[in-house]
Amino acid sequence: MSAPYTVNPTLDFAIERFIDAPTLLVWDALTKPEHLKEWYMPKRWGRVVRTEMDVRPGGIFRIDIAVGDGPEIPNLGCFLDVVPLERLVWTSMLFPGYRPAVFDDIPITAVMTLESAGTGTRYVFTALHRSEADLATNKTSGFFEGTEIAVDQFVAHVLAMR
Protein backbone atom coordinates (compact mmCIF):
# COMPACT_ATOMS: atom_id res chain seq x y z
CA MET A 1 0.00 0.00 0.00
CA SER A 2 1.53 3.30 -1.02
CA ALA A 3 0.68 6.52 0.74
CA PRO A 4 -0.97 9.29 -1.29
CA TYR A 5 1.25 11.85 0.44
CA THR A 6 4.85 12.31 1.46
CA VAL A 7 5.66 12.76 5.14
CA ASN A 8 7.88 15.77 5.65
CA PRO A 9 9.56 15.66 9.09
CA THR A 10 9.70 19.46 9.21
CA LEU A 11 5.90 19.66 8.78
CA ASP A 12 4.45 16.39 10.04
CA PHE A 13 4.58 13.81 12.78
CA ALA A 14 3.65 10.14 12.73
CA ILE A 15 2.83 7.68 15.50
CA GLU A 16 3.05 3.98 14.70
CA ARG A 17 1.80 0.99 16.67
CA PHE A 18 1.43 -2.73 16.14
CA ILE A 19 -2.01 -3.83 17.35
CA ASP A 20 -2.44 -7.53 18.03
CA ALA A 21 -5.92 -7.59 16.52
CA PRO A 22 -7.43 -8.13 13.07
CA THR A 23 -7.58 -5.15 10.72
CA LEU A 24 -11.40 -5.25 10.64
CA LEU A 25 -11.53 -4.69 14.39
CA VAL A 26 -9.07 -1.79 14.14
CA TRP A 27 -11.12 -0.27 11.31
CA ASP A 28 -14.33 -0.52 13.35
CA ALA A 29 -12.67 1.25 16.30
CA LEU A 30 -11.61 4.07 13.94
CA THR A 31 -14.89 4.50 12.11
CA LYS A 32 -17.75 3.85 14.53
CA PRO A 33 -18.76 6.76 16.78
CA GLU A 34 -19.49 4.53 19.79
CA HIS A 35 -15.86 3.42 19.76
CA LEU A 36 -14.35 6.88 19.26
CA LYS A 37 -16.04 8.05 22.46
CA GLU A 38 -13.93 5.51 24.32
CA TRP A 39 -10.48 6.51 23.13
CA TYR A 40 -10.34 9.79 21.18
CA MET A 41 -9.84 12.22 24.11
CA PRO A 42 -7.15 11.54 26.73
CA LYS A 43 -9.29 10.40 29.69
CA ARG A 44 -7.28 12.32 32.28
CA TRP A 45 -7.83 15.56 30.33
CA GLY A 46 -11.52 15.40 29.48
CA ARG A 47 -14.19 13.58 27.59
CA VAL A 48 -15.83 13.16 24.20
CA VAL A 49 -19.21 14.88 24.25
CA ARG A 50 -20.56 14.11 20.77
CA THR A 51 -19.53 12.11 17.72
CA GLU A 52 -20.88 11.97 14.21
CA MET A 53 -19.24 10.31 11.23
CA ASP A 54 -20.26 9.73 7.64
CA VAL A 55 -17.27 7.70 6.51
CA ARG A 56 -17.05 8.63 2.82
CA PRO A 57 -15.20 11.36 0.92
CA GLY A 58 -16.94 14.64 1.71
CA GLY A 59 -18.66 13.11 4.75
CA ILE A 60 -18.75 14.64 8.22
CA PHE A 61 -16.07 13.98 10.81
CA ARG A 62 -17.25 15.42 14.14
CA ILE A 63 -15.88 14.70 17.58
CA ASP A 64 -16.74 17.42 20.10
CA ILE A 65 -14.78 17.33 23.35
CA ALA A 66 -14.76 18.98 26.76
CA VAL A 67 -11.59 19.58 28.74
CA GLY A 68 -12.18 18.95 32.43
CA ASP A 69 -15.51 20.51 33.39
CA GLY A 70 -15.12 23.15 30.71
CA PRO A 71 -17.38 23.99 27.79
CA GLU A 72 -17.76 21.85 24.71
CA ILE A 73 -15.11 22.36 22.04
CA PRO A 74 -16.26 21.53 18.52
CA ASN A 75 -14.02 19.39 16.36
CA LEU A 76 -15.54 19.35 12.89
CA GLY A 77 -13.97 18.23 9.67
CA CYS A 78 -14.41 16.40 6.40
CA PHE A 79 -13.27 13.00 5.18
CA LEU A 80 -11.03 13.31 2.15
CA ASP A 81 -10.14 9.70 1.41
CA VAL A 82 -11.63 6.42 2.56
CA VAL A 83 -10.17 3.07 1.53
CA PRO A 84 -11.90 0.52 3.78
CA LEU A 85 -9.51 -1.47 5.97
CA GLU A 86 -6.51 0.45 4.58
CA ARG A 87 -6.68 4.24 4.86
CA LEU A 88 -8.78 6.98 6.40
CA VAL A 89 -8.01 10.67 5.80
CA TRP A 90 -9.81 13.67 7.28
CA THR A 91 -9.04 17.34 7.59
CA SER A 92 -10.14 20.20 9.83
CA MET A 93 -9.50 22.61 6.96
CA LEU A 94 -12.78 21.65 5.31
CA PHE A 95 -16.28 21.19 6.66
CA PRO A 96 -18.52 18.38 5.40
CA GLY A 97 -19.26 18.54 1.69
CA TYR A 98 -15.80 20.08 1.15
CA ARG A 99 -17.02 23.49 2.38
CA PRO A 100 -14.20 25.84 3.42
CA ALA A 101 -13.77 25.78 7.19
CA VAL A 102 -13.59 28.66 9.60
CA PHE A 103 -11.52 27.83 12.66
CA ASP A 104 -9.44 29.38 15.39
CA ASP A 105 -7.16 26.42 15.91
CA ILE A 106 -4.23 24.95 14.01
CA PRO A 107 -5.66 22.91 11.13
CA ILE A 108 -4.34 19.47 10.31
CA THR A 109 -4.94 16.69 7.88
CA ALA A 110 -4.96 13.32 9.65
CA VAL A 111 -3.96 10.19 7.78
CA MET A 112 -4.54 6.80 9.37
CA THR A 113 -3.21 3.72 7.61
CA LEU A 114 -3.76 0.08 8.47
CA GLU A 115 -1.81 -2.88 7.16
CA SER A 116 -2.24 -6.53 8.08
CA ALA A 117 0.90 -7.80 9.77
CA GLY A 118 0.86 -11.44 10.80
CA THR A 119 -1.96 -11.88 13.32
CA GLY A 120 -2.32 -8.15 13.86
CA THR A 121 -2.37 -4.74 12.27
CA ARG A 122 0.30 -2.09 11.70
CA TYR A 123 -1.41 1.24 12.46
CA VAL A 124 0.10 4.61 11.59
CA PHE A 125 -1.42 7.97 12.49
CA THR A 126 0.13 10.93 10.66
CA ALA A 127 -0.70 14.59 11.26
CA LEU A 128 0.10 16.80 8.26
CA HIS A 129 0.62 20.50 9.05
CA ARG A 130 0.65 23.54 6.76
CA SER A 131 3.83 25.07 8.26
CA GLU A 132 6.80 24.41 10.52
CA ALA A 133 5.34 26.93 12.97
CA ASP A 134 2.06 24.98 13.20
CA LEU A 135 3.96 21.74 13.84
CA ALA A 136 6.10 23.41 16.53
CA THR A 137 3.00 24.82 18.22
CA ASN A 138 1.26 21.44 18.15
CA LYS A 139 4.31 19.78 19.66
CA THR A 140 4.49 22.26 22.56
CA SER A 141 0.76 22.90 23.10
CA GLY A 142 -0.14 19.41 24.22
CA PHE A 143 -1.64 18.29 20.90
CA PHE A 144 1.21 15.88 20.18
CA GLU A 145 1.21 14.49 23.74
CA GLY A 146 -2.57 14.18 23.68
CA THR A 147 -2.45 12.39 20.35
CA GLU A 148 0.09 9.89 21.72
CA ILE A 149 -2.17 9.27 24.73
CA ALA A 150 -5.20 8.88 22.46
CA VAL A 151 -3.35 6.39 20.24
CA ASP A 152 -2.40 4.35 23.32
CA GLN A 153 -6.05 4.47 24.47
CA PHE A 154 -7.08 3.44 20.94
CA VAL A 155 -4.80 0.39 21.05
CA ALA A 156 -6.11 -0.59 24.49
CA HIS A 157 -9.70 -0.18 23.32
CA VAL A 158 -9.13 -2.37 20.25
CA LEU A 159 -7.52 -5.06 22.40
CA ALA A 160 -10.50 -4.94 24.78
CA MET A 161 -12.83 -5.41 21.79
CA ARG A 162 -11.25 -8.77 20.89
Task: State the CATH number of the domain containing residue 98.
Answer: 3.30.530.20
- The band of 4, judged by pLDDT with boundaries at 50, 70 and 90, is low
Asked if residue 57 is part of any domain, the answer here is yes
For residue 2, pLDDT beyond 60: no
Asked if residue 2 is part of any domain, the answer here is no
Asked if residue 8 is part of any domain, the answer here is no
* Coil, strand or helix at 62: strand
pLDDT digits (tens, 9 = 90+) for 79-105: 999 999 999 999 999 999 999 997 778
Q: Counting every residue, how long is the chain? A: 162
Asked if residue 37 is part of any domain, the answer here is yes
Asked if residue 6 is part of any domain, the answer here is no
Total domains in the chain come to: 1
Whole-model pTM above 0.75? yes
50 forms beta bridges with: 64
Phi, psi values for residue 123, rounded to 5°? -115, 130
- The band of 1, judged by pLDDT with boundaries at 50, 70 and 90, is very low
Range of the domain at 101: 13-161
Asked if residue 108 is part of any domain, the answer here is yes
Phi, psi values for residue 31, rounded to 5°? -115, -5
The span from the CA of 129 to the CA of 133, in Å, is 9
